[in-house]
Chain A
Amino acid sequence: MRKVFNFNATSTGPATVLGNFMIQQYSGSFSVTSHGVNLLSATFSEPVLGSGNQLQLQNVSFTKGSFHFTSDINGLAFELNHPLDPLYFVAFFDVNPLVGITDGTFAPFTANVGSAFTTTGVATPELSTYAMMLLGFIGLGYAGCFRKSRAS
């Protein structure tokens, strides 16, 4: 099944040097589709950050911007739009020529692309863990009851 990636982002501010990195704000959209099915699409306003031969559009830590996901996959967009800190990046590898700034904006380049989308959730104990805890508390209850009846 062929998956097709479309991406379009235009700079909305000047590129600046930030320590060892260069950073520039972009707005745009991307989609990953398969035979008309929207696997994952988004509109975003995020910084592109990087140096050397790598750049990343990302909403990690201090670079968080804004985004909105849609998807035909049940629950995926909901999970990524959830306020519980989803993290994602679209990475450009093998940037050629190396990342540079001319006239206040990123110089032209070609690159490969990769991406990952991560959610941060709360670890929920499995049902068997709940059952073991319940048994433990019941045992404590009986132990307390037994001690009380021995004392009287």
Chain B
Amino acid sequence: MKAKYFLLGLLLSPVALPTIADAKVSTTIFAFGDSDTGPNVTATKKGNITTITSTNTSVPIESYQWELSE
């Protein structure tokens, strides 16, 4: 009988987890740039088409949580 309740406890553990795990979280995993480095994108207009460009602009990386692969 003890073994029955013990096993019931073990079996119920994973059943209860989804309600706790349902909470969603947002995580910023990569961020770059700043507003102090001067203009670094330029939008030009040709007729009714606008092109936004930035070429070889140096930007700081604010954060990333990942390791570079070897």
Is A122 within 8 A of B23, CB to CB? yes
Q: Does A81 lie at the interface of the complex (its beta carbon under 8 Å from any beta carbon of B)?
A: no
Is B13 within 8 A of A133, CB to CB? yes
Is B33 within 8 A of A115, CB to CB? yes
List of B residues within 8 angstroms of A129 by Cβ: 20
Residues of A84-129 at the interface with B, using a CB-CB cut-off of 8 Å, are 87, 91-94, 96, 102-125, 129
From A72, A105, A149, B68 is in contact (CB under 8 Å) with A72
**What residues make up the interface of B, taking CB atoms closer than 8 Å to A?**
1-2, 4-10, 12-13, 16-17, 20-45, 47-62, 64, 66-69
Smallest beta-carbon distance A84→chain B, Å: 9
Q: Does A140 lie at the interface of the complex (its beta carbon under 8 Å from any beta carbon of B)?
A: yes
Supplied contacts A4-B56, A39-B61, A121-B25, 16 more A-B pairs, CB within 8 Å: A8-B51, A14-B48, A24-B50, A37-B68, A39-B30, A76-B30, A92-B41, A110-B43, A113-B54, A118-B29, A120-B26, A125-B21, A139-B9, A141-B5, A145-B4, A145-B6
List of B residues within 8 angstroms of A110 by Cβ: 39, 41-43
| Distance in angstroms between the alpha carbons of A106 and B52 in the assembled complex | 10
Is A107 within 8 A of B45, CB to CB? yes
* Tally of chain A residues near chain B (CB < 8 A): 71
Is A138 within 8 A of B9, CB to CB? yes
User: Closest 9 CB pairs between A and B?
Assistant: A114-B33, A141-B9, A137-B9, A110-B39, A141-B5, A7-B54, A116-B31, A145-B5, A73-B66
